[in-house]
């Protein structure tokens, strides 16, 4: 292909998302079975409703509807006057009723948007709809054999039979569908991070739950020239472009990886003059690639029809009644104005609600600047270095607060507090007072420091002479000697002053 021809086919990616998030409720969406299934034995969280037994009647969980309304408020969506449920019919063993109860033509949230930033630039993506639905059960593909079950679970192609656990069946999900507003895989990642942050602030989502986030992404390529200055693309151009739907993405990183792969795969096809097939593809996280999936069902094959067992919901007025907390953007701006923090520090501190709450707690007790340094820089920095998350230490906030207190009350130096105590706290699990005692970091009393100053002067006549001859390095040498004698627990500034006093007297 000539340079000119390839220039003529400069391409832009067009990406849209369907994000499934698990809503944090006590019970399933249509029955009273607990959703707390993490360590449960299989099929111990089921009932006639979520097992799809004949005659069982679903009843909507008010908590799930409330969570959906909160999401709607946070993404600035319309909550329609009336919203209904539909049956999506398909046969697969994870679906005990042979249909999934979902929403079809009147989802609970419509026309929202979410703002986020990519590399410092603000972006907004339109959210077409967000609807409630139930999760299917969990399937295991298994090979015959005599070994333990865990060793015989395998890929679908190699399986001899299937095992099903319906504990998860009926867990409330929200499917959030964006407009095809993304132009790069990196934008998708930033969006997902922001979405999770907002959902966690709302208290409707727990990212640490297994399978709490699942993403389907569609991607097509259009001529770069079709994208106008505002980043918009004509409808007809989008309709003409063949797109692929990538399934089985379960993380932000996975989304970026899957879409980068898919974008370059499509780009290569188009640039070599071949067509992109409109199809569903499966993301293989291990290999970082996408593979074609034989899909038997088209949209019309799902034969959607109204779920007659569930009367419609009329909850648009809940939008005024259900309160939501201050969201990350608002909180970040408040941190800048109220505490005088930099944008960067405020962003770090509002990245999760837990961090922000902890910061405010520390700031209230001591001082905002000290709190910002300790939470944003020291704590998050050390956690990050250890590949830990704030959730790994959220039961130790009291200990970190105590450490900040030791610094605020001048009982240990800031350097020791950070470089020794905090690090050991994270590495050994000990509390700050234990570490301070063990390492002998308590600030040495004034008498001891004074004694060390006198000793250092007596023992180093050469340095004293150098000092009197005006050599700058001499005082630093003597400070070092005193620090050594006090095990690093004296304040170097104080020592410097004491030495000068002693030497000049």
Residue 33 or 452 having the CB closest to other proteins: 33
Distances (CA, A) of 106 to 102, 180, 435: 10, 20, 59
310 binds, among Zn ion, other proteins, none (CB under 5 to 8 A by kind): other proteins
- Least separation in angstroms between CB 161 and other proteins: 5
- Least separation in angstroms between CB 165 and Zn ion: 13
- Least separation in angstroms between CB 306 and other proteins: 13
Q: Give the pair of three-digit tokens for residue 16.
A: 């849209």
If 0-12 CB within 10 Å is exposed, 13-18 middle and 19+ buried, where does residue 101 land? buried
Residue 62 or 471 having the CB closest to other proteins: 62
Q: Which of 18, 20, 42, 47 binds Zn ion (CB under 5 A)?
A: 47
- Least separation in angstroms between CB 26 and other proteins: 5
Count of Cβ atoms closer than 10 Å to residue 124 Cβ: 10
Sign of the C-alpha dihedral, residues 477, 478, 479, 485? positive
Residue 1 or 53 having the CB closest to Zn ion: 53
269 binds, among other proteins, Zn ion, none (CB under 5 to 8 A by kind): none
- Least separation in angstroms between CB 102 and Zn ion: 17
Query: What is the phi/psi pair of residue 491, to 5°?
Result: -85, 120
Number of residues that bind Zn ion (CB under 5 A): 5
- Least separation in angstroms between CB 304 and Zn ion: 23
CA 322 to chain centre: 24
Selection from 475, 474, 493, 492 nearest residue 483 by Cα:
492
27 binds, among Zn ion, other proteins, none (CB under 5 to 8 A by kind): other proteins
**Among 33-41, 265-273, 413-421, 433-441, which window interacts with Zn ion (CB under 5 A)?**
33-41
Owner of token pair 């507090």 = 417
- Least separation in angstroms between CB 50 and Zn ion: 3
Q: Which of 13, 29, 37, 50 binds Zn ion (CB under 5 A)?
A: 50
Q: Where are the beta strands (DSSP E) in 108-188?
A: 109-118, 121-134, 138-142, 161-165, 172-178
Distance CA 40, CA 22 (A): 18
415 binds, among other proteins, Zn ion, none (CB under 5 to 8 A by kind): none
45 binds, among Zn ion, other proteins, none (CB under 5 to 8 A by kind): other proteins
If 0-12 CB within 10 Å is exposed, 13-18 middle and 19+ buried, where does residue 173 land? buried
- Least separation in angstroms between CB 124 and Zn ion: 39
324 binds, among Zn ion, other proteins, none (CB under 5 to 8 A by kind): none
Residue 34 or 292 having the CB closest to other proteins: 34
100 binds, among other proteins, Zn ion, none (CB under 5 to 8 A by kind): none
* Residues of the shown chain interacting with other proteins in the complex, contacts defined by CB under 8 A: 25-27, 31-34, 41-48, 51, 59-65, 82, 89-93, 139-142, 149, 156, 159-166, 296-297, 301, 310-315
Return the residues of window 121-160 that contact Zn ion according to CB under 5 A: none
- Least separation in angstroms between CB 63 and other proteins: 3
453 binds Zn ion (CB under 5 A): no
Selection from 426, 366, 361 nearest residue 390 by Cα:
426
Selection from 28, 32, 22, 134 nearest residue 71 by Cα:
22
Tell me the Ramachandran region of residue 76: left when phi exceeds 0, alpha when psi lies from -120 to 50, beta otherwise.
left
64 binds Zn ion (CB under 5 A): no
Find the helix or strand (DSSP H, E) in which 44 lies.
none
31 binds Zn ion (CB under 5 A): yes
- Least separation in angstroms between CB 303 and other proteins: 8
Q: Give the pair of three-digit tokens for residue 349.
A: 């501190």
Residue 131 or 331 having the CB closest to other proteins: 131
Do 212 and 21 touch, CB atoms closer than 8 A?
yes
CB-based contacts of 273: which residues, under 8 Å, 6+ apart? none
Residue 89 or 242 having the CB closest to other proteins: 89
Distance CA 96, CA 139 (A): 12
Q: By the criterion CB under 5 A, which residues form the site for Zn ion?
A: 31, 33, 47, 49-50
């Amino acid at each position: 292909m000539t340079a000119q021809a390839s220039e003529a086919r400069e391409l832009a990616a067009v990406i849209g998302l369907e994000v499934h998030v698990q809503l944090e409720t006590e019970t399933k969406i249509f029955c009273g079975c607990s959703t707390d299934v993490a360590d449960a034995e299989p099929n111990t969280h089921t009932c006639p409703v979520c097992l799809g037994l004949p005659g069982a009647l679903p009843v909507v969980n008010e908590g799930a509807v409330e969570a959906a309304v909160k999401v709607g408020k946070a993404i600035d969506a319309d909550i329609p006057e009336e919203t209904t449920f539909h049956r999506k019919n398909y046969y697969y063993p994870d679906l005990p009723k042979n249909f999934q109860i979902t929403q079809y033509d009147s989802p609970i949230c419509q026309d929202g948007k979410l703002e986020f930033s990519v590399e410092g630039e603000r972006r907004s993506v339109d959210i077409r709809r967000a609807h409630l639905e139930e999760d299917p059960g969990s399937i295991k593909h298994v090979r015959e054999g005599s070994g333990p079950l865990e060793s015989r679970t395998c890929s679908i192609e190699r399986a001899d039979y299937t095992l099903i656990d319906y504990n998860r069946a009926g867990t409330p999900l929200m499917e959030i569908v964006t407009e095809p507003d993304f132009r790069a895989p990196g934008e998708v990642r930033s969006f997902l991070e922001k979405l999770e942050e907002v959902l966690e602030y709302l208290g409707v989502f727990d990212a640490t739950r297994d399978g709490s986030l699942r993403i389907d992404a569609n991607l097509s390529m259009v001529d770069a020239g079709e994208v106008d200055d505002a980043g918009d693309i004509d409808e007809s151009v989008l309709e003409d472009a063949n797109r692929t739907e990538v399934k089985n993405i379960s993380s932000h990183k996975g989304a970026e990886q899957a879409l980068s792969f898919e974008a370059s795969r499509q780009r290569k096809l188009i640039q070599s003059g071949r067509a992109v097939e409109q199809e569903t593809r499966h993301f293989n996280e291990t290999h970082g690639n996408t593979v074609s999936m034989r899909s038997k069902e088209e949209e019309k094959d799902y034969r959607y029809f109204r779920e007659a067992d569930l009367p419609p919901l009329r909850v648009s007025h809940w939008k005024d009644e259900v309160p939501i907390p201050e969201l990350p953007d608002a909180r970040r701006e408040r941190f800048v104005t109220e505490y005088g923090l930099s944008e960067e520090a405020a962003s770090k501190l509002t990245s999760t609600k837990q961090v922000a709450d902890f910061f405010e707690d520390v700031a209230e007790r001591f001082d905002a600047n000290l709190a910002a340094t300790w939470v944003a820089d020291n704590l998050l920095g050390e956690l990050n270095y250890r590949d830990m998350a704030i959730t790994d230490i959220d039961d130790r906030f009291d200990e970190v607060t105590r450490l900040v207190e030791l610094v605020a009350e001048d009982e240990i130096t800031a350097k020791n507090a950070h470089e020794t105590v905090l690090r050991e706290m994270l590495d050994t699990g000990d509390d700050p007072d234990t570490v301070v005692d063990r390492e002998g970091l308590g600030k040495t009393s004034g008498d001891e420091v004074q004694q060390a100053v006198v000793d250092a002067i007596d023992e180093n006549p050469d340095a004293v002479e150098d000092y009197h001859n005006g050599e700058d390095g001499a005082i630093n040498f003597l400070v070092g000697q005193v620090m050594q004698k006090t095990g690093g627990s004296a304040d170097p500034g104080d020592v410097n002053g004491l030495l000068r006093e002693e030497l000049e007297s």
